[in-house]
Structure 1
């Protein structure tokens, strides 16, 4: 059925007006319901004289219109458009502020707030008005009503049933709701209908008829009750659903990284877009995890489904992957252990995931895939390449192993990881979308020239601009990584035998490296720190100890050994001969830390460069 004319569709909380003859325009209720054209007045349109069947058909069509609403505004809008002008000439809708959610303890008093129009054609946030007794005269209603327990308005609302305004109880309640100066028409031209949810009153609807039309009849109270009841059920549904979506959305967003790390040798950018305002809860995620040895893990995943369960599973998988990545497992092992954890949790959900580890020293990247769309590598010259990575099976399937591949990651190249919401929709299959994404990246790179990479943030925005109106069927997570790498000339690496002479040799090697980098003024402090860390490693190691110095915007030292026991800082007593090494490291280094690996551990520290020359 056709929608009401614009003048009616936009007149939600305001009397729509009538022609000089007093005839109101037609109002189509949609959903296959009848289109009632009031011949002379709203009362006649209800079939009060002809037959009762029109009233029943109106109620059926009106309740279907109300039920179509998914959120609070749509539900209230459906009530207003269904009631005006077919059932009443004007309507005011008051709702509790804030609306109760769940099983909160009822308060001794609460506030009813007049719902305002949000239609652009009617004027956003315009104060609702209704007709006074005199034709054409408009009087503003009170916006807020403080409902006191035991007061006249509270008693009427507690009665649940709609009532006429000319009853003694309602006559005392309406000024409390609409304001003392509001003129209330008599002769059964006003109905006050409590809007009661599942457990308590959540609002009130006031229906008006003008003085030049027929008043309401007794059966109209039943119609008002039906409209109010279905509105209350819809509001309860919308509030509870909105609360669930809010909790799940907050759960999901708190489990996504607030900000990306800034590891050495790589630049990162990310985007996350929900599918729609009405279906925001999903299981897409991305992550960037700094690893020992200046490496960084890049992760993107997608839990199937859109629900709070999907968000919870996403949080479990992300936490598991972060924990597994810290122990130095290769990408295939990380996915394998994540698979085992997912099966142990007994979750019915499945997830795709792509896990990659970038090493800025070797300029290599290792990738393992669990049923996820393949990444795209944008080379410095502008060529975009879909990487050939074994697809694997989604996490949760079980019985399928994962395979990792190692690829070149040249300086200046950009790796794009994404979820299927970016490339798959009702209008295109996933492989068509991947090819379109590859072409889009190549075209963007051509605009910046062969010797320059497009700015990372602008590249992410440009990628999202490829989405058309029908392409937002799913959540989208996007992680872009620009490989800068660390030049070989900025790396010094040695193996030291676990013997008493190792600390002295480590000091000499560190001094030579600092001299080669023109950082002699750091020699005293760095030699002391290197000596302390290497001494602690040699004490427990059985295999050769590794020593590596990296010169970037800071000087970073990494000492690795085969002992899994992490060092612990403690305060030495005056009589102790040792135990002060980590105390010195903590005082002299800008930062320091220790990470347990599957083959032992790495202890590292960082020292600022003189004058901050390399920031």
Structure 2
């Protein structure tokens, strides 16, 4: 064949290359012998490729075989990258490439690379002027099996001897390949070049894998499924901890080396790849003969035989233990940071931050104790402590005040301090004041600094020496930043919440008055979460009549508006009670007031007016929880008290009055709904549980009324604490809680007060006269004989005035306390009583047309007297004292 037999431009350069010397590998007799002795297609193509490349000193080469559909597929290559082979893994029959042209034209093709650059502009190598290609067809008679393509980086064409030699190599290779393929596929239905290509591909891929693994710690395997023989190279044997000569090439040995927990997964992956004939991929642990556990990542490809059954798997396995452990550490660190971030993001207060650290950071760092400092006005004080004794906490708190303390040094240097044992810590802080606790042996000191401003500090300690790895130090630095932000947010929240809580407390009574014959205790707790102030309130209102008004209420919502409405209601209630309104009237006035305040809020309220002397109670309720009644034995039960709608809904609402008696030793428990309401809970069941808890607590303490008021007051204080914050209960409060406890407890050893009351119909003088006489009898029965007549006379004057000038009913009350007798007469006349001057000689009224001298007598004979409006009524009262002598009668 002549060099110029093919069209195409010859590259410029020196003349033809000299013919090969006799006895070289390219000399036809030697080439023929080598090719004819190849016993299988794979070795034949590799031999032909090596002969061609070496014979003409080519840079690279490739053999392409024609498939049944006419497309060409590269099967054997030398010095071609995977990128180029993947790019041209299938070549169409009409391609301008030399491989396809040689097959189409059935002749040798010599072509310069520059002629292909227009069709493949992205391949830079084709634009180089000295690159040429030679493509020789693999012809068997008129049938073409494929082509051999050689790349030569020098001028072209070679001499005629070269062309003849290449043609001879191609012809012998083609005929030998035809023979080998016919022997191997004659019995295979549908067999042909496609099957041959698949068989040849396994060897080609194995060769490329070997090249890829040559510079890496990766081993190769070849697994024959028919025989079960598993061939490992030396590197793979070393990965499994075996010497190559000790590996018996049995797949059972391989499975036995796999960690028991991973065998089933590997077996499934192998079965699936054999079933589909696709890629194999598995990551698993192995247990080496020395007991070390390593993790391998294996990949492979299953190849089928000429019958289409899976015949073998060729692949590689790489030790990825360090990479896997590093990834696990990174994942652990990332998950931990996310966990801590999530926990601290939910932490609202400083206390929440300490709790989140105890639950997440301490276990993550393997630590045992933490103290969290907060900066305030240049001082560091412990905001939360966990795992330290009281003595250690005291010493650490005191040490933080010194400039050279560990926390102060960390803040000055701006980075965490790590001490892996006591010696390292004592070397830096030898002073006795900084001496670490005896039960702790390693420490991390974190500065908490946000935007160049000190937020606080944190000391985390271990009860044993601890080595802090680079990962530990990185993790601690990350957590310190998260903790700083959480602390800054929590501190601001606590400050704001303290301000709002103080606002709430200012609106509540600072102190409850000490009253005779009554023990009173109150508690207010803000909600555990949230910053806004609530609308819960309570109050205790001593009345001039000696009775006591107790009130508790709850304005809807949590806001400054709710607090303002609460303040207005509380002030209004105090004013209405001071005016002397009856309980029903008082609640009606409060309801109208809230309706007129131009707010969408409503309020619930419960008001009870108690006479400590006789135990009578008048109670009204506006949508508020029903009080509990606690008897003298300590048993609690819900009291049946009818009520009206909440305040602020209907200005015309009326509120029924419930009248009852509170015997000595019994108590009323008034509370807001925050004590018994929670999400998803049943209100009635919660109230029943509250009553049961109070009863059981009283029974366990043997708490019952013993007639001593001081003891009753102490017990009531303890009960109030138990109700609002039982020991061990850390359930977050979703709402504010207000509690008011009132127990009637007249001191049986020293009775201090007595009272009585009478009623007379308006205009019925007989009833008025009987009331006066009943008063005299009662006063004498109390032992005030010296002032009984005076009291009866003065009361008669007040009763007469009321009967004369008022249209409604008349009430008279008398109360004896500490030797002072107070008499009050109630009527419906709102005019102020006048003291009419009396003529000293005649004893008659000095003003013409004015009759009587009753109020003059009251002024002269009573120790004190006065009058005051009481809601829709008026009260005129006087007091006489047993110690004072009776006045001289006129």
Normalising by structure 1, report the TM-score. Answer: 0.58
In structure 2, what is the Cα distance between the partners aligned to 1:154 and 1:338?
57
The alignment status of 1:391 with 2:643, answered yes or no, reads yes
Q: Which residue of 1 aligns with 2:744?
A: 482
In structure 2, what is the Cα distance between the partners aligned to 1:80 and 1:386?
41
In structure 2, what is the Cα distance between the partners aligned to 1:440 and 1:567?
57
- SS across alignment from 1:353: strand
Q: Which residue of 2 aligns with 1:7?
A: none
1:211–1:199: structure 2 CA closer, same or farther, 3 Å change rule? closer
Q: Which residue of 2 aligns with 1:557?
A: 823
Q: Which residue of 2 aligns with 1:351?
A: 603
In structure 1, what is the Cα distance between the partners aligned to 2:382 and 2:716?
46
Question: 5 Å matches for 1:111-130?
Answer: 111-112=379-380, 117-119=385-387, 122-126=388-392
Q: Give the stretch that moved more between structures: 409-418 or 478-487.
A: 478-487
Q: Which residue of 2 aligns with 1:171?
A: none
Deviation, 1:202, is 1.9
The alignment status of 1:144 with 2:400, answered yes or no, reads yes
The alignment status of 1:598 with 2:871, answered yes or no, reads yes
Deviations, residues 413-456 of structure 1 (Å, cap 9, x unaligned): 846242245555568633345556678899989x9999999996
The alignment status of 1:431 with 2:684, answered yes or no, reads yes
Counterpart of 1:63 (choices 341, 350, 362) is: 341
Deviation, 1:258, is 2.0
Deviation, 1:125, is 4.7
- SS across alignment from 1:298: strand
- SS across alignment from 1:357: strand
- SS across alignment from 1:126: helix
Which structure has more RCO (C-alpha within 8 Å, separation ≥ 6)? 1
Q: Which residue of 2 aligns with 1:34?
A: none
- SS across alignment from 2:592: helix
The answer to whether the 8 Å contact 1:94/1:112 transfers is no
Deviations, residues 120-177 of structure 1 (Å, cap 9, x unaligned): xx42352699xxxxxxxxxx999225569xxxx9999589x64899xxxxxxxx99x9
The answer to whether the 8 Å contact 1:364/1:406 transfers is no
The alignment status of 1:259 with 2:532, answered yes or no, reads no
In structure 2, what is the Cα distance between the partners aligned to 1:560 and 1:295?
15
Deviation, 1:336, is 2.6
Deviations, residues 246-296 of structure 1 (Å, cap 9, x unaligned): 344444445146224526xx6343343637766897544433323344433
Q: Give the stretch that moved more between structures: 252-261 or 269-278.
A: 269-278
The answer to whether the 8 Å contact 2:629/2:637 transfers is yes
In structure 2, what is the Cα distance between the partners aligned to 1:164 and 1:513?
83
1:309–1:456: structure 2 CA closer, same or farther, 3 Å change rule? farther
The answer to whether the 8 Å contact 1:300/1:417 transfers is no
Normalising by structure 2, report the TM-score. Answer: 0.43
The answer to whether the 8 Å contact 2:512/2:540 transfers is no
The answer to whether the 8 Å contact 2:583/2:619 transfers is yes
Q: Which residue of 1 aligns with 2:488?
A: 236
- SS across alignment from 2:624: coil
Deviation, 1:232, is 2.1
The answer to whether the 8 Å contact 1:491/1:548 transfers is yes
1:476–1:212: structure 2 CA closer, same or farther, 3 Å change rule? closer
Counterpart of 1:200 (choices 453, 472, 476) is: 453
List alignment gaps of at least 5 residues for structure 1. 1-38, 101-109, 130-139, 166-173, 184-188, 498-505, 569-576
- SS across alignment from 1:404: coil
In structure 1, what is the Cα distance between the partners aligned to 2:708 and 2:443?
69
The answer to whether the 8 Å contact 1:116/1:126 transfers is no
| RMSD (Å) for aligned C-alpha atoms | 6.5
- SS across alignment from 1:241: helix
In structure 2, what is the Cα distance between the partners aligned to 1:89 and 1:382?
47
Q: Which residue of 1 aligns with 2:521?
A: 270
Counterpart of 1:320 (choices 572, 587, 590) is: 572
Deviation, 1:551, is 3.0
Deviation, 1:74, is 5.0
Deviations, residues 211-233 of structure 1 (Å, cap 9, x unaligned): 9957759x967x55543332222
Deviations, residues 324-375 of structure 1 (Å, cap 9, x unaligned): 2222323333223222333444445432212233467997544322112334
Question: 5 Å matches for 1:376-525?
Answer: 388-398=640-650, 401-409=653-661, 412=664, 414=666, 416-419=668-671, 420-421=673-674, 423-424=676-677, 429-434=682-687, 475-482=737-744, 517-522=782-787
In structure 1, what is the Cα distance between the partners aligned to 2:430 and 2:561?
47
List alignment gaps of at least 5 residues for structure 2. 1-292, 294-321, 419-424, 436-441, 764-770, 836-845, 847-854, 885-890
Deviation, 1:408, is 4.2
The answer to whether the 8 Å contact 2:622/2:655 transfers is no
In structure 1, what is the Cα distance between the partners aligned to 2:461 and 2:497?
36
Deviation, 1:592, is 7.0
Structure of greater Rg: 2
Structure with the larger helix share:
2
- SS across alignment from 2:657: strand
- SS across alignment from 2:568: helix
Deviation, 1:510, is 9.0
1:154–1:512: structure 2 CA closer, same or farther, 3 Å change rule? closer
Matched residues, number:
502
1:214–1:493: structure 2 CA closer, same or farther, 3 Å change rule? closer
